[in-house]
Structure 1
Amino acid sequence: MVSSPAHNPASAPDTAPLSPGTHTYRLGGLVQRYHVHGSGPVCVAHSGGPGIFWEYMRMPALEEHLTMVYVEPIGTTTDNRLPSHPHGYTRERYSSFLEILINRLEVPKVHLLGHSHGAFVAAYHALYRPGRLAGVVLYEGAPVTGPEHGEEAARMVEAFAAQHAGHPGLPGVMAAFGAMGSMSTDEQTAAVARGVLPSYFADYWADEERLAPFREAVRATYISGLDENLVPDAIDDRAALKELTVPALVVVGRHDVICGMRWGLELDELIPQSRLLVLENSGHMGHVEEPELFAASVRGFVLATASAS
């Protein structure tokens, strides 16, 4: 639980659920943390991976207008891992932990922003636990995983390789993609995440001086993608998304190799009355590549749907 205030009110820390800073509570034997920055309507942000630490999601441009609540997804630190770790991190489990956190914030409704794998979690939450959501931002997501998604990603990675043929950094990126299937440790996962990252930007090497520190700061935990019975947590939301009732903003980067234009357009087509933002000069990391446009669009969506709700 959040620590109790000291007896002296003048020296007591602010432990209100949306006070700025890091909040911690225990849930089912696990430690759950979230981090609050900014002010304004509440937007809960769920990072990707699964297993990528939350820090890369910091969005200072959004924090100027919204109260951003950055979740540390279960499994990313040693004190919030399931007994079945590295297995068992299904969307249902992520969503159940997310619902408890949202309820603790003590506001009628929040907006939920999920990036990459976090967008799959956010879509699931909006479909099956919509009651506390004023809106959902599906940022670099897709309606499916599995072979179809993998084939599209492979095609986009091949196009990236052709575009950057001869660049001295390309062999390292391709080697990292080749190592994805054999990851089994936190160290390997972090190395692969950093290794493939140049392909996740529209043009990483043209802006390497600015983006290299972001790349080096990425931290990751190995999570298998299997449930407790070692069965893949397969996703196909195409039918369900046609019935989504939560207002949705779909965000996709024109140059994203993992959850690119095909999937952004399909999400927008499937979801009733969704809004679509195409970031023309971004890959998978639009909040870093085009932060002002990204923030303005998300802020506009949040303010409009907050008023409606």
Structure 2
Amino acid sequence: MQNKTTDLLSPGTHDIEVDGLRQRYHVHGSGPVCLVVPGGPGVDWKPTRVPAAEEFLTMLYVEPLGTGGSQRLPSHPHGYTRERYARGLTGLLDALSLPRVLVLGHSYGGFVAQYLALHHPDRLSGMVLYESAPVTGPEHMAESAARVEEFVRRNGDRPDLPTVLGGLQASGTARDDTTITAALRDLLPVSLARYWEREDEFRGLRETITCTYISSLDENLEPDVIDDRAALPAVTVPTLVIVGRYDVICGPRWARELHALIPGSRLVVLEDSGHLGHLEEPEAFADAVRTFARSALA
């Protein structure tokens, strides 16, 4: 069993069956294991890779069910609730004989991490909520719209701005993988603090990022609305909250709320980042995670 588990945690890409479904994940780095849950839902795992953290953690990057090389549910594109994602992740940890791990949830992945902390705290030694929020729905959308207006005021003279705003609009109506990927590529500059000043650096990401269309409905076609604000004060898992000062999608307001709601949590604001601070300020991001991991695992 030990040899099998070691093989499943060796560097590279792995497929494992959980609840009869193929779950794909990627292992990079060395040290204690950190389970990385990407955002979207449906966004490719590769942009969430954090090479700087791989110097001190074994980063286990998951392709959530329905995304990339992981198998789709029979109800696809519906049915991908947090409970379903969490069941897949705990099943993965069981298969790897990992009783407790760090979890890093980016954007929507942060919602999944919160669910794990609330329902499976015994499986987590620490939680990083990275560019996430405690709530979805109209309130979250209104805050994001206000942040978009700020982005437009800062970048009103950019010739590419109409394309970005068109991508934002298209992302709300996309219903297939091709359309949502095209929208994600168009809107990418809104996810970064200074895309056009660093365009040579981020152009490749914009041209290659992919996304699977995942709806916000459960198997019964009911919205999977999230509001963890009443529950978060009961979180016992050590928590780090990271946010970019210019994040439009899950901005500082939500990071402050998470920090205020979760007892003993720490808050780190990346002052020159948007929604992708691990790419925009990689050293500051890695330093924050390193300091937190040392404390959580002590």
Q: Same fold (TM over 0.5)?
A: yes
Q: 1:94 aligns with which of 73, 79, 85?
A: 85
Q: How high is the TM-score relative to the length of structure 1?
A: 0.93
Once the 2 structures are TM-superposed, how far is the Cα of residue 217 of structure 1 from its aligned partner?
Answer: 2.0
Deviations 1:34-68 (A, max 9, x none): 11100011101000000001111111100011100
Is this contact kept in 1: 2:30–2:54, CA < 8 A? Answer: yes
Matched, 1:201 2:182: no
Runs of 4+ in structure 1 displaced over 6 angstroms?
none
User: What's the Cα RMSD here?
Assistant: 1.4
- List aligned pairs for 1:213-252, cutoff 5 A: 213-252=204-243
TM-score, length-scaled by structure 2: 0.96
Q: Is the 8 A contact 1:75 1:81 kept in 2?
A: yes
Confirm or deny that 1:141 pairs with 2:132. yes
- The residue that corresponds to 1:269 in the other structure is 260
d(CA) in 2 for partners of 1:233 and 1:46? 18
Q: What is the one-letter code of the residue matched to 1:258?
A: I
Q: Provide the C-alpha distance between the structure 2 equivalents of 1:77 and 1:292, rounded to a whole number of angstroms.
A: 28
Q: Tell me the residue number matched to 2:49.
A: 58
Asked if structure 2 preserves the Cα contact closer than 8 Å seen for 1:17 and 1:106, the reply is no
The residue type equivalent to 2:272 in the other structure is: N
Question: Helix, strand or coil: the match of 1:162?
Answer: helix
Equivalent in the alignment of 1:173: 164
Quote the Cα distance in structure 2 between the aligned partners of 1:27 and 1:271.
Answer: 31
Tell me how many residue pairs correspond in the alignment.
Answer: 296
Structure of greater Rg: 1
Check the 8 A contact 2:18/2:92 in 1, yes or no. Answer: no
2:154 matches 1:163: yes
The AA in structure 1 aligned to 2:229 is: R
Q: Is the 8 A contact 2:13 2:25 kept in 1?
A: yes
- Per-residue CA deviations over 1:136-172 (Å, capped at 9, x if unaligned) read 0000000100000000000100111121112111000
Unaligned runs of 5+ in 1: 6-13
Unaligned runs of 5+ in 2: none
* Alignment pair present for 1:73 and 2:64: yes
Q: Distance in 2 between matches of 1:306 and 1:214?
A: 33
1:79, distance to aligned residue in structure 2 (A): 5.5
Q: In structure 1, what is the equivalent of residue 284 of structure 2? A: 293
Q: Percent identical across equivalent pairs?
A: 56
Distance 2:206 2:52 in 1: 20
Of the three residues 24, 27, 33, the one matched with 2:18 is 27
2:103 equivalent to 1:127: no
